[in-house]
Chains A and B, each alone.
Chain A
């Protein structure tokens, strides 16, 4: 199993450009998440999905969009990139255990710089 894979690993964008961060998992997990991690900080939840066709906003959704057409894929779209979106983005997936005992498996991250 490859686990959670993310592409690209690094990207530099100019202000106003758009891009899609790709995330794929091969563990047949129902739940998938997108987080951002600013330098020296913890993770903030951007969007999450509890299954194909179902997505919801997290703590910091502004400036981002997601879709979940299949169980495996959960792309994150940045529209009109801004310097405040410079961060490391992590995708994660989990089976969906009850009462917060789920194990989230994280991808290696995408380091994005907006200039």
Chain B
């Protein structure tokens, strides 16, 4: 069974602080996606990384795919209350199948 573990599970920080969320597996993935999910809604895609070592920036969010394509990180700079949510990573297994991580629940306090 392929597993994608995220850490930390929960994170509560003050507005303006920086944070990093990790997504780790022993499996190699064709791509790695990050989603954010708000309460009562479905996940929304933030980014897809496909090349080992790739780094993508989305405003204050920086995503990195590990060189061996087994792990990824999400770094948020100067977190804001609007960043609050459940962050999910998803590893691509070929063309159309994905395995989702266990999730990181982030709360940013004003």
Residues of chain A touching chain B, judged by Cβ–Cβ distance below 8 Å, are 4, 31, 35, 40-45, 48, 50, 58-59, 90, 92, 94, 96-104, 106-109
Q: Which of B30, B44, B102 contacts A100 (CB 8 A)?
A: B30
A43 to B94, CA, bound (A): 18
Mark the stretch among B14-22, B35-43, B56-64, B77-85 that contacts chain A.
Answer: B35-43
Q: Told that A58-B97, A59-B1, A98-B95 touch, could you supply 19 new A-B pairs with CB distance under 8 A?
A: A41-B103, A42-B6, A42-B88, A42-B101, A43-B100, A92-B42, A94-B96, A99-B30, A100-B29, A100-B33, A101-B50, A101-B92, A102-B92, A102-B95, A102-B96, A104-B43, A104-B98, A106-B41, A109-B42
Nearest to A9 among chain B residues (CB) is B40
| Interchain CB contact under 8 A, A90 and B103 | no
Residues of B within 8 A of A (CB): 1, 4, 6, 9, 29-31, 33, 40-45, 48, 50, 88, 90-103, 105
B93 touches A100 (CB 8 A): yes
Cβ–Cβ contact B42 & A90, under 8 A: yes
| Inter-chain contacts of B98 with A (CB < 8 A) | 45, 100, 104
A66 to chain B, nearest CB (A): 15
What are 9 inter-chain pairs, A to B, with CB distance below 8 A?
A45-B98, A90-B42, A99-B92, A100-B91, A100-B98, A101-B92, A104-B45, A106-B41, A106-B42
